Chains A and B, each alone.
Chain A
Amino acid sequence: DGGITQSPKYLFRKEGQNVTLSCEQNLNHDAMYWYRQDPGQGLRLIYYSQIVNDFQKGDIAEGYSVSREKKESFPLTVTSAQKNPTAFYLCASSRTRTGAESPLHFGNGTRLTVT
């Protein structure tokens, strides 16, 4: 079955450590996205990529970094510069480069806890 795989499901880190969240898709989608979700809130866009080797900052990119070396993969690194990294992280992809013209397909998320 085609879909988006995020791993791990739960991740625990000590403050001051960088951590990388994995996102892989086999839908052959051009565009990929990272969102952050805090309790009782909507999703906020961290980074998005419309094509391999290209990505743009979203609304809350500070303290995060991404790469898009392959069409299938869009890993997110949460750096020690991110002041409040504990959250639920969701990766998504869309068939077209304009996300607003086609639905997003989401992975099942990674819950990151930093202590």
Chain B
Amino acid sequence: SQQGEEDPQALSIQEGENATMNCSYKTSINNLQWYRQNSGRGLVHLILIRSNEREKHSGRLRVTLDTSKKSSSLLITASRAADTASYFCATESGGYNKLIFGAGTRLAVHP
């Protein structure tokens, strides 16, 4: 079973609006990562947040982590059409040296 599950599955917004995606996971983690995937391409790493961090920023991206609720959120502010992509959260799996990915949120930003 997948460790991380994103919500919503799909999100459609207008340029300039903010987009929020959520990720829930089941077991304790050391860190959580967010990735972006453009259609037909590989994934690109966006942010890594460690379990002792609550919030992290990178440009227009803001990630929060709530380990008590086993959840994380990715906020994209002032979205652009170029932000259209699928976004995945990934967590480590029970101490093994591998990441477990959720099914992703498909974001569509309309001009």
B24 in the interface (beta carbon within 8 A): no
Segment among B11-19, B53-61, B101-109 that sits at the interface with chain A: B101-109
Q: How distant is the Cα of A92 from the Cα of B45 in the complex, in angstroms? A: 11
Interface size class of chain B, counting residues whose CB lies under 8 Å from the partner chain: 20 to 34
| A92 neighbours in B (Cβ, 8 Å) | 42-43
* Bitwise interface map of A from 28 to 65 toward B, beta carbon under 8 Å scored 1, else 0: 00010101000011111100101000000010000000
Pair B97/A104 contact, Cβ less than 8 Å: no
Most buried by B among A40, A42, A98, A99: A42
Q: 12 interchain pairs (CB within 8 A)?
A: A40-B103, A42-B101, A45-B99, A48-B98, A98-B97, A99-B97, A100-B91, A100-B98, A101-B30, A104-B35, A104-B90, A109-B42
Question: A residues near B, CB below 8 A?
Answer: 4, 6, 31, 33, 35, 40-45, 48, 50, 58, 90, 92, 97-101, 103-109, 111
Question: B residues near A, CB below 8 A?
Answer: 2, 4, 30-31, 33, 35, 40-45, 48, 88, 90-92, 97-104
